[in-house]
Structure 1
Amino acid sequence: MPGVFVLLPSVLAAALWTHVRRELPRECVGALGGWVRGEQVQVRALYPLPNVSPQPEREYLADPGELLRVLRAMQREGLELVALYHSHPHGPAAPSSSDRQLAAYPVPYLIADPRHGHLRAYLLPGGEEVEIRGAE
């Protein structure tokens, strides 16, 4: 996916940051639905998910049943899974070793660092950074 970028509307970026702050000091996790158009990942919907990790302050694990429900909802809405997101409450907005191990989908993974206000995206498990562009 070289050259790929994520087009994230400002209203959804704001919703993502609201979810990040609401879950502090725990890591949040969620899915992003939309479409892929060439090299552009167009985000159209945000789906917060419960973090069921036994250590939610240090890692995330999306509730599998809720993730399945969200994937079905996306399908009904004519969307596809285009990205996943989670937070690192104490930073940085870079993939950890457990993030790389958990990477199960061939989509960008957005990581939010509320301490420094950074939001970055990566293709995992490799770790190539993906540009995030704002959209209205």
Structure 2
Amino acid sequence: MPTALHLPRVLENALWAHARRDAPAECVGAIGGHERPDGLYAHALYPLPNIAPDPVRHYLADPGHLLRALRAMQAEGLSLVALYHSHPNGPATPSRTDTQLAAYSVPYLIADLRGGSLLAYLLPDGRAVEIVLGTT
């Protein structure tokens, strides 16, 4: 399991812009990149539509858009290295729903718009394990 995700500042800025643009609803997106021995390296951000019935409290990525993002990653020689979403009213910790619905074994980034923090977690077996998020 990866212990660190390296996120370039330009992608971090794009993630925050997406979160602010979608507020008060939660935003959702995918991050493509590469895995190396010292962690995951992000190279591209793929904002996705949130189709949750209550997007102010939950997120659900549009499956068709997610599939297109995964295909675009593959075409660019990238793989899925993380997923992200926002908590417009905080905190930057996974909710019970976040941990229960985590379907991928990649880090999940949570942007807390109120508190201004961005944290990354692995969500195996319904529990949250924080990992290092490095920005460059």
TM-score after normalising by structure 1: 0.96
Match of 1:115?
114
Q: Name the SS of the counterpart of 1:73 in structure 2.
A: helix
- Name segments (4+ residues, structure 1) moved above 2 Å: none
Partners of 2:38 and 2:48 in 1: how far apart? Answer: 27
**Residue 102 of structure 1: how far off its partner (Å):** 1.3
Q: Secondary structure at the match of 1:99?
A: helix
Range with bigger deviation, 73-82 or 38-47: 38-47
Q: How do residues 36-75 of structure 1 correspond to structure 2 at under 5 angstroms?
A: 36-75=35-74
1:62 counterpart SS class: coil
What is the aligned partner in structure 2 of residue 133 from structure 1?
Answer: 134
CA distance in 1, matches of 2:77, 2:109: 22
Task: Extract unaligned runs of 5+ from structure 2.
Answer: none
Give percent identity, aligned residues only. 62
Deviation of residue 126 (structure 1)? 2.2
1:77 & 1:31 partners in 2: Cα distance? Answer: 14
Partner of 1:7: 6
User: Deviations 1:24-51 (Å, cap 9, x if unpaired)?
Assistant: 0000000000001013110000000000
TM norm structure 2: 0.96
One-letter amino acid of the structure 2 residue matched with residue 62 of structure 1: A
Q: Supply the distance in 2 between the matched residues of 1:38 and 1:109 (Cα, whole angstroms).
A: 19
**CA positional deviation for 1:101:** 1.3
Q: Distance in 1 between matches of 2:45 and 2:128?
A: 23
Identify the residue that residue 17 of structure 1 maps to in structure 2.
16
Cα RMSD over matched residues? 0.8
